[in-house]
Amino acid sequence: MDHITTNHIERKAYAKINLGLDVLRRRSDGYHEVKMIMQTVDIWDRLTFKPAETPGIELSADDKTLPLGKDNLICRAAELLMEEKGIRQGVKITLEKNIPVAAGMAGGSTDAAAVFHGLNELFGLSMDMEEMKRLGVRIGADVPYCIMGGTALSEGIGEILTPLPAPPQCVLVVAKPDCNVSTKFVYENLHADTLKEHPDIDGMVLAIRKGSLEGITGRLGNVLETVTAKAYPVIEEIKRKMKEEGAWNALMSGSGPTVFGMFRERESAQAAAEGIKNAGLARQVFVTRFYPDRQ
């Protein structure tokens, strides 16, 4: 099929945090069965898509530390999609990176998700969400969620998704300490069968459905902290600092090392963000919110 286009598409790729993350067991194939609450936040990368004269995928990025070839999830997603859909026209993709890298915020997965949406529009492919999610899981377990966005319960290896209403709005401080954490390292060092405590994910789902912010803040929990926070004490220091400055509660996101705190007021959130930067605990610090708003 020939898809000739001259359009120019721009798309924001939103980061996620985990309000809850539990690992139920390690499967015999090595994958971990998870139960997670995913939540998009208003921190985003910007991707642009333009048709190119020559065939192939040409990626450029403002972050010079990122790979630009097949190791970038953007190229892998574009290649998979163009091969599946028989697209011979080339595409130029630019990436403005704002989401902290190797941080537990699904930066790569959300960029891949934006590629499915962006190329769907650029080449007029008329793929629905389900088709994009089916292709997306071939790139990574978190990609189907990123294609959907919002608030969701994620089960299986991350591909079984139940959409939830957005939680009531609050002010978030998101702080990424200077260490980079590999997701592989964290899961390899997790002893899923000997975990003594599990977060109350079912209770969290009910609290979200009821719109109870207290029910949510009271249940924040992430079993991966047992690995990452042990290896990087700065994570507990940031959580402590956030709570000292008035956060309802604070938690590490995903495999870390990013920590987020939930605040009632913008002033105390701003003070926490400044305090974290001034104490040298993290350089990448955002004061942000859930995205999108609760309807």
Active site residues: 16, 142
Q: Residues 110-139 vs ligand ATP: string with x where CB under 6 A? A: -x----------------------------
Minimum CB distance to ligand ATP smaller for 116 or for 245: 116
Q: Is 22 in the site for ligand ATP (CB under 6 A)?
A: no
Cβ proximity of 61 and 97 under 8 Å = yes
101 is an interface residue for ligand ATP by CB under 6 A: yes
Q: Phi/psi class of residue 183: alpha, beta or left (left: φ > 0; alpha: ψ in -120 to 50)?
A: alpha
What CA–CA distance (Å, rounded) separates 184 from 288?
28
Of 21-29, 103-111, 214-222, 233-241, the window that binds ligand ATP (rule: CB under 6 A) is 103-111
Nearer to ligand ATP (CB atom), residue 66 or residue 242: 66
User: Does residue number 66 form part of the binding site for ligand ATP (CB under 6 A)?
Assistant: yes
Please give the Cα distance from 51 to 62 (Å, whole number): 20
Identify the CA nearest to 95 among candidates 171, 44, 158, 148: 44
In the complex, the smallest distance separating the C-beta of residue 142 from ligand ATP, rounded to whole angstroms, is 5
Q: Please report whether residue 39 would count as binding ligand ATP according to CB under 6 A.
A: no
Q: Give the residue, chosen from 109, 217, 222, 228, that forms a contact with ligand ATP under the rule CB under 6 A.
A: 109
What number of chain residues touch ligand ATP (CB under 6 A)?
A: 20
Nearer to ligand ATP, 103 or 166 (CB): 103
Kindly state the tokens that stand for 220.
């924040």
Q: Which two tokens stand for residue 127?
A: 């793929």
The answer to whether 286 and 173 are in contact (CB under 8 A) is: yes
Least separation in angstroms between CB 253 and ligand ATP: 7
Residues 6+ apart with CB under 8 A from 116: 77, 81, 127, 132, 135, 136, 147
- Asked whether the beta carbons of 243 and 250 are under 8 A apart, the reply is yes
Q: Which residues bind ligand ATP (CB under 6 A)?
A: 66-67, 71-74, 101-109, 111, 142, 183, 254-255
